[in-house]
Amino acid sequence: MAELTELLEKEGVDKGLLAGAAEFRKAYPADPDFADRIPEVSALYYGKTVWEEAVAVLLSGRNLLLAGPKATGKNLLCENLAALFGRPVWNVSFHIGTDAAGLIGTDTFDGEKVSFRKGPVCMSAEKGGFCILDEINMARNESLAVLHAALDHRRIIDVPGYDLIRVDRAARFIATMNYGYAGTRDLNEALSSRFAIITMPQITEENMLRLLRRNFPDISERIAGQFVKLFGELARKAEKSEISDRAVDMRGMLDALDLIRQGLSSGQALELTIVSKTFDRYEQTLIRDCIGSRIPADLDRSVVFAG
């Protein structure tokens, strides 16, 4: 934790906010039974402003909605925030079939009697955890109505036939959404008004460079720079609708570098992790063209990791 705080201080995140987070951790120690749910910081989200906004929102007791296109670091920020506040995480991936039972819980027969088995929303509400509602706009709005009371000032979950669950003071709901994504829909006003919304910006070149350096400390400066530029070019191409945003994949970029380290050539690695993300052959050609005008296909690990 100290390491994360230090990193954020280096990033220039407001010290007052970081102190606030530290006090929060002290005031609401995590349940030791759920300590393994507190995420470790494998990668750091870079972006001072977003950090400050997010920490301020959570400290004020509000819930947070991170909205933005693919590869803007929404999930990474969720995990980083949970780590900073020292909260166990319950993760819910939304889909078209998500219903109230999947969120709140469902009745189950334990061999003797029918009892209520709590879902992730109830668990995080009770245990003071962070509930991450991933791709919240993938679900139908009506199935999300059950969350309204938990998300607003009432902070309760009324399960029919069961006790009223009060949301712990340390519990927060952090939702993510990517508008324009295939299968998504607009979040209705009733739901969106219950969140403070941060529009996630595309990662800057400088921040992506730092991300690569952090993940691959021995990466060649020159090659890292070209990967960063390539990512920007793919993002711009997707923004102009020349390609879909499937190839604008930060994880894919990191995976490509990982595969190069394993021994694949740059061409092979990028083909697997970026080009193949789309199944349209013509789009694949455009992506390959874009990659080819930045990264030679025959780079190997001795060149890429020569730093």
Tokens coding 138: 């993938």
Residue nearer to another protein on the CB measure, 62 or 288: 288
Nearer to another protein, 72 or 266 (CB): 266
Q: Which residues on adjacent β-strands are paired with residue 114?
A: 109
28/111 Cα distance (integer angstroms): 36
Q: Are strands 172-177 and 130-134 parallel, antiparallel or unpaired?
A: parallel
Of 130, 110, 109, nearest in space to 121 by CA: 130
Minimum CB distance to another protein, residue 70 (Å): 19
Residue with smaller CB distance to another protein, 184 or 226? 226
Q: Footprint of another protein on residues 209-248 (CB under 8 A)?
A: 222, 226, 229, 233, 236-237, 240-242
Q: Find the binding residues for another protein in span 277-306 (CB under 8 A).
A: 282, 285-286, 289-290, 292-296
Give me the numbers of helices (H) and strands (E) for the chain, helices first please.
15, 9
Site string for another protein, 71-110 (x = CB under 8 A): ----------------------------------------
Collapse the DSSP code of 255 into the 3-class scheme (helix H, G, I; strand E, B; otherwise coil) and give the result.
Answer: helix
Q: Applying CB under 8 A, does 31 fall inside the site for another protein?
A: no
Nearer to another protein, 25 or 294 (CB): 294
Min separation Cβ 294 and another protein, Å: 6
Which residues on neighbouring strands pair with residue 132, listed in sequence order? 91, 174
Q: Which of 46, 64, 212, 214 is nearest to 151 (CA)?
A: 64
Q: Least distance (Å) from another protein to the CB of residue 233?
A: 6
Instruction: Find where tokens 């245990």 sit.
Output: 127
What is the smallest separation between the CB atom of 72 and another protein, expressed in angstroms?
Answer: 20
Instruction: Measure the CA–CA gap between 69 and 200, rounded to whole angstroms.
Output: 8
Q: How far apart are CA 299 and CA 160, in angstroms?
A: 61
Q: Segment 248-277, which members bind another protein (CB under 8 A)?
A: none
DSSP code, position 168: P
Give the pairing type, strands 64-67 and 196-199.
parallel
Is 166 or 229 the residue whose CB approaches another protein more closely? 229
Q: What is the spatial distance between Cα 149 and Cα 194, in angstroms, rounded to a whole number?
A: 10
Structure tokens at 307: 């730093």
Q: Which is nearer to another protein, 88 or 267 (CB)?
A: 267
By rule CB under 8 A, what count of residues binds another protein?
Answer: 19
CB closer to another protein out of 152 and 221: 221
Q: Find the shortest distance in angstroms from Cβ 293 to another protein.
A: 6
Structure tokens at 303: 């060149």
The residue (of 60 and 241) whose beta carbon lies closer to another protein is 241
Residues found near another protein in the complex (CB under 8 A): 222, 226, 229, 233, 236-237, 240-242, 282, 285-286, 289-290, 292-296
